[in-house]
Every structure is written in C-alpha cells, then in structure tokens.
Structure 1
C-alpha cells in the first residue's frame, strides 16, 4: 500500500514537471541551458562544455527537436522545442543599398535593386553568412561574437 502511494506521488511529480516545461515557454535561441546544450534553432544545437569546441553545431535526428530536457533531442510534437527561431527569423532584405544579403545561416544572394537574384551562393563548410567588412562568410565564433549574431538564422533560403 505504501509502495503504491509512493509510486503515485512519483508519477504525479513527473507529470507536473513535464507540464511545467510547456508552461515555462520557449528559451531564447543560442543560450546555454541547464542541460549544457545551446539550441541554435529548432533542430540544431551545440554543447556548452569547456571540453568541446563551441563552434561545433550538431543536428538532432530526423523528426526530433532541440529541448531543454536532459534528453535534449525529443520527437517532434512530444514536447515544445526550446528555440523556434524560424518563427521569428528576420533576415536582411534587398533595399537598394546592399549588393548582397544573407538568405540563411550559410547562404547569401546578390541583390538587383530591391529584388533577390536567383543565384544562391553557399558558404564553405563550417562558416556562416555574415556580410560586412569585406567578408561574406565567417567562422561560428566570429558570427556569434558579432553585435548582431547570425544575420539570418534561417535553415535554408526561401524559394525565389
């Protein structure tokens, strides 16, 4: 009888804890969480540990999202992702004053006035789009340490 009550209490605590994760809401992107993971976007993360290089971005398995839970990649739909950057991503647009703009974390495109051209240019592996100071792509640390962070934190460019 005592064992059953203890088991019920434990189950109740687990359920309440799970609900609390949903109620607390989103954690900002690119912030180290209590589980030593920094969600870069909904599906990508880097580890917040001194023994791991901070510029290594890893991807959750297919159909899984990055969370603040101990098991930081969980099936899509089972829990809310810690970071939903694609919902509020603002990427630079062609406004007539820029020759190039970042169209995702790793791509940029040329502007023709206020319109994007169709040619998408991809940064070299392990570099990220950061247009400015005569550079188009920089390493992750430089992108994160800049005042703006990622200029466009979108997974891939939108179709033109």
Structure 2
C-alpha cells in the first residue's frame, strides 16, 4: 500500500520541479521563445525563429536595452531580467604568442606583444564584430552567426575600458 503513495509523491515532485524550472527559468540562450518567437543569442542580440526569416539575421537591441522573453523583445536594462544572461566569467582569448591580435569584447580587439596585450584598444566599425579566427578582424552580423561558437569574446567592452 505504501508503494502507490510513494509513486504519487515522486510524480508530484517531478511535476513541481519541472514547473519551477519553467517559471524560474534561467539563461535561455539560443533557444526559441514562445512569447516573442525569437532566440536571444546573448544579453543584447537576437535572431528570429520564424521559418521565413533567415537564421543568419542577427539584430541588436537599442543601446541600454536587453533581450527578453516578453512579447516586446527589448526592454531597458534593469526593468526586467534578460532572457539570456552572460556567464559570471566570460572566457575570451588571451595572447599566446602565436597570434598578433585577440578579441577583447564583441566589438574590440587588441594587439599582442608576446603573451601580453598592448595598451591600445581597437574598435570595429559600427555593426561589425571581432572575428580573429576568421582572420578578418571585424565581420558583419551575418558572418558572426556562421561561427560555431558565435562571439569569440562575448563582453560588452574590454575589461580595462
């Protein structure tokens, strides 16, 4: 008689856990969201999930706004939680002595002097992103999504900026 009661308790626990995960969420990076039919690629960039829109089309929220899972895609930073939050520590390439430049944010790069960064930060022109792996320095939005890992350094700005 205790076995069916244990089964019910286990089922209830599983259901409550699933609901908690759905409600509380967490980072939903690169996953289609039901409320707005987009996928947030990071805190500020998104692409559409619709079949008739190219998945290579990456859009950026306006300045000081974040990508959300709400019906209105972009909201002012601080007014709600971002759908896709960056990891506490973003992994960016470091100077290894084998490459002359490394990305220091999504839109900046710096020259390497052996295994150390030089002081000058070089900014990509508007609407382009750092892409040292492609040996092109900066590429447009469509090219950045073709990369397997997306941004080489997914920071808003270099650490020293």
Report the CA distance shift for 1:116/1:102 in structure 2 as closer, same or farther (over 3 A): same
Report the CA distance shift for 1:53/1:147 in structure 2 as closer, same or farther (over 3 A): closer
* Residue 71 (structure 2) pairs with residue 66 (structure 1): no
Counterpart CA distance in 2 for 1:83 and 1:45 is 10
Report how far residue 116 of structure 1 moved. Answer: 0.8
Counterpart CA distance in 1 for 2:89 and 2:33 is 20
Report the CA distance shift for 1:128/1:65 in structure 2 as closer, same or farther (over 3 A): closer
In structure 2, the residue corresponding to 1:87 is in which secondary structure? coil
2:142 is aligned to 141
Counterpart CA distance in 1 for 2:79 and 2:128 is 32
2:24 is aligned to 23
Report the CA distance shift for 1:115/1:27 in structure 2 as closer, same or farther (over 3 A): same
Residues 102-131 of structure 1: CA distance to partner in whole angstroms, max 9, x if unpaired?
Answer: 011111110111211111111222221111
Residues 25-62 of structure 1: CA distance to partner in whole angstroms, max 9, x if unpaired?
Answer: 2202x443221223233234344443578535232564
Equivalent residues in 2 for 1:47-66 (5 A)?
A: 47-49=48-50, 50-51=52-53, 54-60=56-62, 62=64, 64-66=65-67
Q: Is the 8 A contact 1:22 1:80 kept in 2?
A: no
Provide the aligned length of Structure 1 versus Structure 2. 140
Report how far residue 148 of structure 1 moved. Answer: 2.4
TM-score scaled by structure 2? 0.70
Which shifted more, 126-135 or 76-85?
Answer: 76-85
Q: Which runs of 5+ in 2 are unaligned?
A: 1-19
Q: Which runs of 5+ in 1 are unaligned?
A: 1-18
